[in-house]
Amino acid sequence: MGEYYKMTIAGCERELPICPISDTLDIAGFVMLGDVEITEKTAAALLAKCPEHDVVVTAETKGIPLCYEMARQGCRRYIVARKSVKAYMRNPIHVEVKSITTDHVQKLYLAEDDYRGLNGKRVLIVDDVISTGESLAAMEDLVRQFGGNIVGRACVLAEGDAKDREDIIYLEPLPLFFK
């Protein structure tokens, strides 16, 4: 049995597995995919803290259920920046991103059908975890390129440097574990 970090998130008790991500660093892995209770409760708790908005934007993958649920309970519109281009995505635009969990540079894409709707809209950017803030910065870049007005940045757990940022709305802090 590995080690766990116990915490309560929006009233839900969870044990997050401690996982190595480099020779010097471990993270408590938070995955809300498959967890309906935490998705519904964190979406409601975050919406209560967020400013009014027209659309919620997230990045594939683990932010998707939260983003959908916040839109379902709130503004009814959400956009997902994808990590690869599919044949059905017209005129995709991309930015580059390297998050704490990946050792290579990834790309985030928006297709024309997504970005056409962003101009002049009040955009709330959400993710399950914000850590280095690189994924957030990449989403901000995409949204701004298409005229979106970023009114808020929100996540369930703020980890590492993100915990100290006053412009990020979050529910709970999450420590990094240095070896």
Ligand X SMILES: O=P(O)(O)OC[C@H]1O[C@H](OP(=O)(O)OP(=O)(O)O)[C@H](O)[C@@H]1O
Ligand Y SMILES: Nc1ncnc2[nH]cnc12
134 interacts with, out of ligand Y, ligand X, none, CB within 5 to 8 A per kind:
ligand X
42 interacts with, out of ligand X, ligand Y, none, CB within 5 to 8 A per kind:
none
From the CB of 169, what's the least distance to ligand X, in Å? 15
Rounded to whole angstroms, how far apart are CA atoms 117 and 151?
16
122 class by beta-carbon count within 10 Å (0-12 exposed, 13-18 middle, 19+ buried): middle
Residue 25 within binding range of ligand Y, rule CB under 6 A: no
From the CB of 27, what's the least distance to ligand X, in Å? 10
Residue 100 within binding range of ligand Y, rule CB under 6 A: yes
From the CB of 49, what's the least distance to ligand Y, in Å? 20
Residues in the chain: 179
Whether the CA torsion 112, 86, 66, 173 is positive or negative: it is negative
45 class by beta-carbon count within 10 Å (0-12 exposed, 13-18 middle, 19+ buried): middle
Answer whether 85's CB lies under 8 Å from 92's CB.
yes
Residue 131 within binding range of ligand Y, rule CB under 6 A: yes
Residue 110 within binding range of ligand Y, rule CB under 6 A: no
The site for ligand X (CB under 6 A) is made up of 59-63, 99-102, 127-136
Identify residues 1-20 at the interface with ligand Y (CB under 6 A): none
Closest by CA to 106, choosing from 130, 82, 125, is 82
39 interacts with, out of ligand X, ligand Y, none, CB within 5 to 8 A per kind:
none
73 interacts with, out of ligand X, ligand Y, none, CB within 5 to 8 A per kind:
none
Hey, what are 53's tokens?
Answer: 């908005």
Tell me which residues touch ligand Y (CB under 6 A).
27-30, 100-101, 129, 131, 159, 174
